């Protein structure tokens, strides 16, 4: 970083609400690293502010269509990770997601949807975001820069040897995630990651890395876009495959889903009817008595 750039950076740090006051060596390192990241490369599209809405939407859609193809290339890596997670969870292990910003939020979303979808305990899949739950809605200053905090956050859940930690970071270099994976590795805990740059520090730290290289974002550096989409797709694949292998899906049905609203109750009634041949009233009575589609269906099959 030049003397002029450093001077501007220092003055700006006194005005910005988020503190930018970090050591000059770290600033130099950060500036050097940014130039080498695919996710920080300049967008392939120019003059976005001069485009029509139709053009903007079509260009974004065109870029989004490349993401599943990038995910397809790393399916073997995802498979290897899932195959390690399942036997640990069969023995009582849990799945932790750790991340900051968009990546952290995506982990929280995936974890939060497992209990209502699959009827698992709320602490079986745990999403942790740098800065705590408040950071889900509002960024927390410097939260992602603390390499020690992720392990402290996981210790609050009594993390143990049967658990798995998956670090999520588009850049592949978030200190919060790197530190969490290092601590987990030191404790003999299974680690994986979902990143969107090749050869990153996080991928090097993870035992089972998943590197989805999506290339430059439509808006330069906006990793909530293609990178976020890629991370969400991979999270869907991991949690869904794990839950199916754990027996939480029968056929293609969510037989353990929580009956927490009218839509889900109606869905459950239809599932019981299809599986057993009973009428809707009897299906509803069975669900009320047994509490889940699985138990209602099993009660009929057992007479």
Active site positions, annotated: 113, 144
Is the distance from CB of 67 to CB of 196 less than 8 angstroms? Answer: no
Is the distance from CB of 239 to CB of 78 less than 8 angstroms? Answer: no
Other residues' Cβ atoms within 10 Å of the Cβ of residue 23: 8
Pairing of strands 190-195, 208-211: parallel
Is the distance from CB of 161 to CB of 188 less than 8 angstroms? Answer: yes
- Outline where 149-292 has alpha helix (H): 149-155, 175-186, 201-205, 226-245, 262-276, 280-290
Other residues' Cβ atoms within 10 Å of the Cβ of residue 57: 11
Both tokens of residue 222? 């906006």
CA distances to 32, 36, 105, 197, 232 from 218, in Å: 22, 17, 21, 16, 17
Measured distance CA(234)–CA(103) in Å, rounded: 12
Residue keyed to tokens 């927390």: 140
């Amino acid at each position: 970083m030049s003397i002029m750039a450093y001077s501007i950076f220092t003055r700006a740090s006194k005005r910005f609400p988020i503190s930018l006051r970090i050591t000059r060596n770290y600033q130099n390192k950060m500036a050097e690293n940014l130039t080498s990241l695919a996710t920080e490369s300049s967008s392939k599209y120019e003059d976005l502010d001069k485009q029509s809405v139709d053009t903007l939407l079509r260009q974004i859609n065109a870029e989004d269509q490349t993401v599943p193809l990038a995910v397809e290339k790393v399916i073997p890596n995802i498979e290897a990770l899932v195959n390690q997670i399942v036997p640990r969870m069969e023995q009582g292990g849990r799945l932790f997601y750790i991340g900051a910003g968009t990546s952290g939020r995506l982990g929280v979303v995936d974890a939060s949807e497992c209990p209502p979808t699959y009827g698992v305990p709320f602490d079986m899949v745990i999403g942790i975001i740098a800065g705590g739950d408040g950071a889900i809605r509002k960024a927390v200053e410097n939260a992602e820069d603390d390499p020690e905090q992720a392990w402290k956050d996981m210790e609050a859940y009594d993390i143990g040897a049967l658990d798995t930690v998956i670090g999520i970071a588009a850049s592949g270099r978030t200190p919060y995630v790197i530190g969490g994976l290092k601590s987990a590795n030191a404790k003999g805990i299974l680690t994986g990651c979902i990143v969107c740059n090749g050869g990153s520090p996080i991928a090097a730290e993870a035992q089972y890395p998943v590197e989805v290289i999506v290339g430059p974002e439509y808006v330069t550096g906006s990793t909530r876009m293609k990178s976020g989409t890629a991370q969400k797709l991979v999270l869907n694949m991991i949690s869904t495959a794990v839950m199916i292998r754990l027996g939480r899906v029968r056929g293609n049905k969510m037989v353990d889903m929580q009956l927490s609203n009218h839509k889900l109750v109606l869905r459950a009634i239809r599932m019981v009817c299809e599986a057993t041949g009973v009428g809707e009233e009897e299906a509803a009575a069975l669900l009320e008595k047994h509490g889940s589609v699985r138990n209602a269906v099993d009660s009929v099959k057992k007479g």
